[in-house]
Structure 1
């Protein structure tokens, strides 16, 4: 695929807009530059045009990997949630509480691989969750959070595999 001629998808455009907005929130761009870049991103027809809009901005799209064999993995309170989380646990318990976390992205992608054990993901009130990408063989997925994406609210995309594990996703009670 040639970036100079490849057409821009809605997802490509959304990621570029997110990077520009994050750069503005971080103080890297002033209001005028924000508006100029957003206009260029929304009007871009090719991937190359879009790349030029964000080329000098830091990309916060790295994957944070958390792994455990027999112990537990827990994140709660005031923690920075990355754009993408990859979690592997063979036998342990996983608990991700996003309800009071710092989340700078409109969407968080969580890839969960849980052989045995249990995982709990707590999302902030108003957040939506799509867990249709989780493959449960003998395991179980229970999602009590709304599945329909809501404008202006956090959306969490959960994928992965639970051969024998159990996943519970619920909104915060507070």
Structure 2
């Protein structure tokens, strides 16, 4: 079997995603091209298919060798990979939500700490606070995200502040009140979202129930 026909792992796809992100930062790819190539990389099954998204990017090709250690060229540290841009809470005061190329959902009567850290890459994250058990009125979320879709679902009386979120080729959409806090929950999000999205919204049907007076 040729090297290009070998199967690739999720970790290899993630690494290629980082290389594509670096290419965007260096002006070699537009955001539209980045999105198309990420879709191809995520669907790739063999090394040849994965290599196709890097073939025209100087210095970023995947070496078609069977040995894993030399499979990729080294990456130079930069602002997007060398450090986290989200605040770090003490472990005793926070709850960490992690996701890498996965789907993570928290809903129902889950216990919400005063501070949370959200670390995600190419994932779908949903934090549903509508039935959650709160320990404090204000919940602080430190986010460090790359190419994910993050959704915060909050009760009708809740407020959400996304003003502390830095977006890089991403979107931050707040569909609820920003503040001041008027109910039992006020969520404050700080950190960075890169090539993904974060949305704060009420449960489906909330607007209709308000119109009907329920």
The TM-score, its normalising length taken from structure 1, stands at 0.62
Aligned to 2:123: 92
- Specify which structure has the higher proportion of strand: 1
- CA distance in structure 1 between the aligned counterparts of 2:129 and 2:143, rounded to whole angstroms: 15
Aligned to 2:169: 138
Q: Which has the higher contact order (CA 8 A, sep 6+)?
A: 1
1:114 aligns with 2:124: no
Give how far 1:130 is off: 0.7
Aligned to 2:135: 104
Give how far 1:112 is off: 1.6
* Over 2 Å off, 4+ runs: 150-153
- CA distance in structure 2 between the aligned counterparts of 1:151 and 1:161, rounded to whole angstroms: 27
Aligned to 1:8: none
- CA distance in structure 2 between the aligned counterparts of 1:126 and 1:76, rounded to whole angstroms: 18
- CA distance in structure 2 between the aligned counterparts of 1:150 and 1:142, rounded to whole angstroms: 18
Deviation by residue 1:106-138 (Cα, 9 ceiling, x = unmatched): 100111221002010001111111100000010
The TM-score, its normalising length taken from structure 2, stands at 0.51
1:168 aligns with 2:199: yes
- CA distance in structure 1 between the aligned counterparts of 2:146 and 2:117, rounded to whole angstroms: 14
The correspondence of residues 1-174 of structure 1 with structure 2, limited to 5 A, is 62-173=93-204
Unaligned runs of 5+ in 2: 1-91, 207-214
The number of residues matched between the two structures is: 115
Give how far 1:172 is off: 2.6
Unaligned runs of 5+ in 1: 1-60
* Pair member with larger Rg: 2
Give how far 1:152 is off: 4.8
Contact 1:128 1:153 in 2 (8 A): no
Question: Are residues 109 and 155 of structure 1, via their aligned partners in 2, closer, same or farther at CA, if it must alter by over 3 Å?
Answer: same
Give the superposed CA RMSD. 1.7
